[in-house]
């Protein structure tokens, strides 16, 4: 077995990576710049965790493979797991999608609680160590500067003493703010090409007390905009401790107000009343928290021809998606599955980076294309617009409207949305016929 792996970052993606690496290395060390608590809370570097998160069915399936006790523990903790087609009351493209039994799980839980449970699982692994309040300053290299041998770190309150953690493999899972490009450039390598799609998302989240009869006929509500004329959206999900989490958002700089009356008015003026009808009578349990996401960002490591051995990049450090599509956690789970497969196939770490980045590029392609197509429904969106986007979106608009009455089309759409089927499956003749005839 390989001796030591270091994971930079204790986010969910970092925890997934550590879990996989624990099967292949004698010791795994997670280095995290923030303090790590033994109870559910949002760390300083995780402002997004206080907001609503969607866990796609594909991601839930993969995460349960890593942590078999997860589903039972989430239910015990107060999470809601129900059938996606039945549970979601979804208003989109000027109508409600038809509710039906889909066979896909809809997981509704706070990101903070989910991450805390997974942190508990990983911290109990006998060969995993977490080093909190520890900042990585750079990469320790071999004499020929072609292989990463570990990381330089500083820890403690003063941050004055630098030490080296030696490793056979270092995996950067430090998120969108990853310094890998900067470190690589400083070592004589090229930075990866970056693709960016400016979407200007901003949202405001508040928690409310949840009562048994607040919402009848559904478990959660999604009110999505119909582009390009509408830019506002709001989602209401049940989470543990009898609470609603409500995230109101807008794109391209058209963001919700953050004062109480303005926040309620924003939601009241949505094209469907369901969420306002709940929260206008519910007890607020928190302040209104805000978050801004300027752009989706993808780093094209798969295009690099020269890269140091013993080093990988994963998660949001590779691709940071528009969060309204809920793809981040599932993409990270899919990426660590690729890593697990490669480590099982290869007897050495030599050349691992090339195979890994090539396969990760394909994993990221589908969620990136799905998000990009939706984002480019707005003419103000800035970035490289994929070929055929307008034609694709014209057809998908008919798909969205077909989901309001046709459960066969809606079922296939949910599989694509949950990254369980390729987008091209919506072009199967059976689906095309139903979409066009239904329209």
**Domain residue extents for the chain:** 2-61+115-195+299-373, 81-108+197-293, 383-438
Portion of the chain with pLDDT greater than 90, in percent: 92
Q: What's the rounded mean pLDDT across residues 280-294?
A: 96
Name the band, by pLDDT with cuts 50, 70 and 90, for residue 439. Answer: low
Omega cis (within 30) before 137: no
Is the per-residue pLDDT at 1 higher than 70? no
For the stretch 145-158, pLDDT in tens is: 999 999 999 987 66
At residue 40, the pLDDT reads 78
For domain 2-61+115-195+299-373, the CATH class is alpha beta
Report the first-to-last Cα separation within the chain, whole angstroms.
58
Is the per-residue pLDDT at 160 higher than 90? no
Is the per-residue pLDDT at 46 higher than 70? no
For the stretch 60-104, pLDDT in tens is: 999 999 999 999 999 999 999 999 999 999 999 999 999 999 999
Q: What's the rounded mean pLDDT across residues 315-319?
A: 96
Name the band, by pLDDT with cuts 50, 70 and 90, for residue 235. Answer: very high
CA–CA gap between residue 326 and residue 395 (Å, rounded): 22
At residue 382, the pLDDT reads 96
Average pLDDT value for the chain: 95
Name the band, by pLDDT with cuts 50, 70 and 90, for residue 47. Answer: low
Name the band, by pLDDT with cuts 50, 70 and 90, for residue 161. Answer: confident
Of 29-43, 48-62, 302-316, give the lowest mean pLDDT range: 29-43
For the stretch 171-194, pLDDT in tens is: 999 999 999 999 999 999 999 999
CA–CA gap between residue 237 and residue 77 (Å, rounded): 16
At residue 438, the pLDDT reads 76
Q: What's the rounded mean pLDDT across residues 132-161?
A: 90
Name the band, by pLDDT with cuts 50, 70 and 90, for residue 48. Answer: confident
Q: Tell me the CATH number for domain 81-108+197-293.
A: 3.30.9.90
Name the band, by pLDDT with cuts 50, 70 and 90, for residue 110. Answer: very high
CA–CA gap between residue 18 and residue 9 (Å, rounded): 10
DSSP state of 284: B
Is the per-residue pLDDT at 42 higher than 80? no
Q: Are 245 and 237 in contact (CB under 8 A)?
A: yes
Grouping H, G, I as helix, E, B as strand and the rest as coil, residue 320 is strand
Residue 154 β-bridge partners: 135, 162
Report the candidate in 210, 47, 49 with the shortest Cα–Cα distance to residue 118. Answer: 49
Q: What's the rounded mean pLDDT across residues 14-34?
A: 97
CA–CA gap between residue 23 and residue 65 (Å, rounded): 13
Q: How many CA atoms, within 13 angstroms, populate the side-chain half-sphere of residue 266?
A: 23
**Which is higher by pLDDT, 387 or 117?**
117
Q: Is 130 left (phi over 0), alpha (psi -120 to 50) or beta?
A: beta
How many Cβ atoms sit within 10 Å of the Cβ of residue 58? Answer: 20
At residue 157, the pLDDT reads 64
Name the band, by pLDDT with cuts 50, 70 and 90, for residue 50. Answer: confident
Residue 201 β-bridge partners: 293
CA–CA gap between residue 33 and residue 154 (Å, rounded): 9
Q: Are strands 162-166 and 289-300 parallel, antiparallel or unpaired?
A: unpaired
């Amino acid at each position: 077995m390989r001796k030591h792996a270091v994971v930079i970052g204790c986010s969910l993606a970092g925890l997934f990576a550590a879990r996989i690496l624990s099967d292949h290395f004698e010791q795994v060390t997670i280095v995290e710049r923030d303090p790590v608590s033994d109870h559910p809370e949002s760390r300083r570097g995780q402002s997004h965790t206080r907001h609503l998160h969607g866990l796609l069915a594909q991601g839930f399936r993969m995460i349960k493979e890593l942590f078999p006790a997860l589903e039972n523990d989430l239910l015990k903790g107060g999470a809601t797991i129900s059938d996606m087609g039945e549970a979601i009351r979804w208003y989109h493209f000027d109508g409600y999608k038809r509710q039906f039994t889909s066979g896909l799980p809809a997981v509704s839980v706070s990101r903070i609680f989910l991450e805390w449970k997974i942190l508990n699982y990983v911290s109990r692994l006998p060969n995993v160590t977490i080093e909190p309040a520890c900042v990585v300053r750079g990469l320790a290299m071999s004499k020929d500067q072609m292989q990463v041998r570990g990381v330089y770190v500083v820890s403690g309150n003063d941050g004055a003493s630098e030490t080296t953690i030696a490793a056979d493999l270092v995996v950067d899972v430090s998120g969108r703010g990853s310094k890998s490009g900067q470190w690589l450039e400083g070592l004589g390598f090229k930075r990866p090409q970056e693709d960016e799609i400016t979407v200007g998302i901003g949202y405001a989240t508040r928690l409310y007390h949840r009562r048994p009869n607040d919402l009848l006929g559904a478990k959660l509500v999604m009110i999505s905009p119909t582009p390009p004329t509408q830019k506002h959206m709001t989602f209401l999900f049940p989470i543990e401790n009898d609470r609603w989490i409500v995230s109101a958002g807008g794109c391209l700089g058209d963001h919700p107000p953050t004062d109480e009356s303005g926040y309620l008015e924003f939601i009241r003026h949505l094209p469907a009343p369901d969420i306002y009808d709940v929260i206008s009578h519910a007890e607020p349990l928190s302040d209104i928290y805000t978050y801004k996401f300027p752009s989706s960002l993808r780093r094209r490591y798969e295009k690099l021809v020269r890269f140091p051995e013993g080093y990988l990049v994963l998660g949001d450090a590779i691709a940071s998606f528009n969060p309204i599509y809920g793809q981040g956690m599932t993409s990270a789970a899919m990426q660590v599955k690729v890593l697990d497969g490669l480590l099982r196939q290869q007897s050495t770490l030599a050349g691992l980076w090339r195979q890994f980045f090539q396969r990760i590029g394909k994993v990221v392609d589908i969620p990136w294309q799905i998000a990009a197509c939706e984002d480019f429904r707005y003419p103000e969106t800035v970035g490289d617009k994929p070929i055929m986007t307008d034609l694709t979106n014209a057809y998908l608009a008919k798909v969205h409207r077909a989901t309001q009455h046709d459960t066969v089309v809606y079922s296939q759409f949910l599989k694509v949305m949950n990254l369980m089927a390729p987008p091209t499956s919506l072009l199967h003749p059976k689906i095309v016929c139903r979409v066009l005839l239904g329209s």
